[in-house]
Amino acid sequence: MKIGIVGCGALGSFYGAKLWSTGQETHFLLRSDYDAVRRNGVLIRSPGGELHATPRCARQPEEIGVCDAVFIGLKTTANRELPRLLGPLTGPQTMVVTLQNGLGNEEQLARFIPPAQILGGLCFVCLNRIAPGVILHTAHGKVVLGEFQRPSQPRTHALAALFRQAGISCDVTEDLARTHWEKLVWNIPFNGLGVAGAAGYDALIDGRLPVFVTGGVLPTEVLLADPRWEKLARELMLEVIATANALGLKISETLADKQIERTRNMGAYKASTLIDFERRQPLELDSMFREPLRQAQKAGVPTPRLAALCRVLTALDPRP
C-alpha cells in the first residue's frame, strides 16, 4: 500500500512509523520537523524497545500524490487546512482515516470527501513528542477502526490486520459514533480538568472565570490524588454517558469506574491538551468539548459540569 500521514506530531509519527515497519510505502507530510525527519528519520522510544523509521518525507502534498490510504493525525484546530492538504492525496479509491479526537471530524471530511471513503480511528495511547522526530511512547496504543455511517467493510478488517502486523492491537467497531462517545468518557475529564486546574477548583464550582492564572496543569495522577478533582472527573464522565444514552448509544455507567481505575494504574501522564496549553497553542475545544455540549443540550440532558468546563477552557484558551 501507498500510505500518507497528514499531521506528523506524536500521534501521526507513532502510528506512521509503525505502519512503515510493515514494509508499506509510507509518506510523511511534514512542516516544522521536515529537516530533522529527512535527516534522521523518526525515533519511537517505547517500553517494548526503540523503533527507527525512515519514511519518505514531503513538505507539500503534491510531492506525494494519490495514496491508497491517508491517515490524519492533525490537531482538530487545523481542520480548515484539510481540503488543501487532502486534495492531491486522494483519488476515487483512497481510504481517508481520521485519527483525531472528539466529535464531528468525519462530518467535516464528508463536506469534500465522499462519505464512502471515510473511516474513523480511535487511538488509546499515551505518548508525547519530546524533540523533532522523537516520540516517547509510555503506554497502550490500541486502535479501534470504524466506517463512517455504515457497518464495517472488508477494507476495515484489512486495515485492522495491517495495524496488528505492525504490533498495534486493533479492533473493528460496528458503531463508530458509540465508540467516539466511549472515548470522550476519558478525554473530557482528563484533558479538560487537567487544563482547568490552572484556573483552580473554584472556577468549576462557582462559575468564576479566571482573570489571572497562577496555577499549573494537573496531570492524571494529580487529579486522581485529590478527592475533589476525582469527584469532578466522575461527574463529568456520568454526564457524557447520560448524553450518549439519550442519543441511543447505550453506554453503561460502569465505564466511569473502569476508566478511573485504568487511569490510576496508568501512572503519571499529561494528556495532549495539557501540553498544548503549556506550549500556548490553541486548544481542541470544538471537537472535544463544545460539540459534546451542543449535542447534550439538543438532547435535553443537563450537563452543568461540562458547561462550566467549557466556560473555563474558553477563558484559558491561548487562541488569538
* Closest C-alpha among 320, 299, 9, 316 to residue 193: 316
**What gap in Å lies between CA 166 and CA 19, rounded to an integer?**
6
Provide the CB-side half-sphere exposure for 90 (13 A, CA).
Answer: 23
> How do the residues of the chain divide into helix, strand and coil, expressed in percent and rounded to 5?
50, 20, 30
Residue 165: name the closest of 20, 12, 8 by CA. Answer: 20
Among 183, 258, 270, 298, the active-site one is 183
Residues, the chain? 320
All residues at 6 or more sequence positions from 11 whose CB lies less than 8 Å from its CB, including other chains: 73, 99, 123, 125, 127, 272
Q: Amino acid identity, residue 302?
A: P
> What is the dihedral sign for C-alpha 156, 157, 163, 169?
positive
List C-alpha distances in Å: 224 to 211, 229, 245, 264. 26, 7, 26, 7
250: Cα separation from own chain's centroid: 22
- On whether the CB atoms of residues 223 and 278 are closer than 8 A, the answer is no
The reply to whether 183 belongs to the active site is: yes
Sign of CA dihedral 260, 314, 73, 83: positive
Task: Using alpha carbons, select from 205, 192, 167, 161 the residue that is nearest to residue 283.
Answer: 192
Catalytic residues: 183
